[in-house]
Amino acid sequence: MDSTAPTPVDALRDKQLYLCCNLFIEPSSRWISDLNWRQPLMVPAGTPVKATAGGRKTRTVITWDAASATIEHRYGTREESTEDFLRKLLLERDPRPIIEQFPPLVRHAIAAAKVTPGMTRTQVLMAIGHPPTNATASPTMREWVYFIGPGQRVEVVFGADGGVSEVAGLTTARASVLFTPQSGMRQ
């Protein structure tokens, strides 16, 4: 690779950016996959980050507070460029003021990185990230496919009103993304 050729991170370097959505980090490697598999470590939507380095054309290092992780765009590279992928994840405007305007139930679901019936597409994106483009070709599709872990997938289905009407998949996979409000929580 030509060391003088621009990398996907070059346009983002030295800018204050914010995570679009909750992103999961694989603990031992400190990697965030474009599949966004559920992991024990999560960086919340709206976290201020900086894109500090670009390795291969599909990898970008982000830093926040005293931490860092590498985002890898591996599975959807035929469907979208790494630049487009990074523009979806790394925003120039903080999404937290938008999240604060949502009803309490939706705010709690987003904070828990889960989905609840009635959520809009934007709210689902903030809660569990963008569906991988190799499985969901367009954000306008009625059904979004997410890979939760090895051999586990869920489909978030949107109804005619544009809100989540169903979360389908194996029971354990569904349980990992379906928000169950605590009793007494205000809607």
Is there a single domain that holds both residue 87 and residue 107?
A: no
What's the pLDDT tens digit per position in 72-96?
888 888 999 888 888 999 999 999 9
Model's pTM, two decimal places?
Answer: 0.90
First vs last C-alpha separation in the chain: 53
The amino acid at 43: V
Task: Tell me if 85 is assigned to some domain.
Answer: yes
Domain that holds residue 147: 100-177
Q: Where are the beta strands (DSSP E) in the chain?
A: 17-19, 23-25, 31-33, 41-43, 48-54, 59-64, 67-72, 90-91, 143-149, 152-158, 164-169
* pLDDT per position as a tens digit, 95-131: 999 999 999 999 999 999 999 999 999 999 999 999 9
CA–CA distance, 80 with 141 (Å, rounded to integer): 16
Angle at alpha carbon of residue 128, lines to 123 and 130, rounded to 5°: 85
Q: Is 81 domain-assigned? A: yes
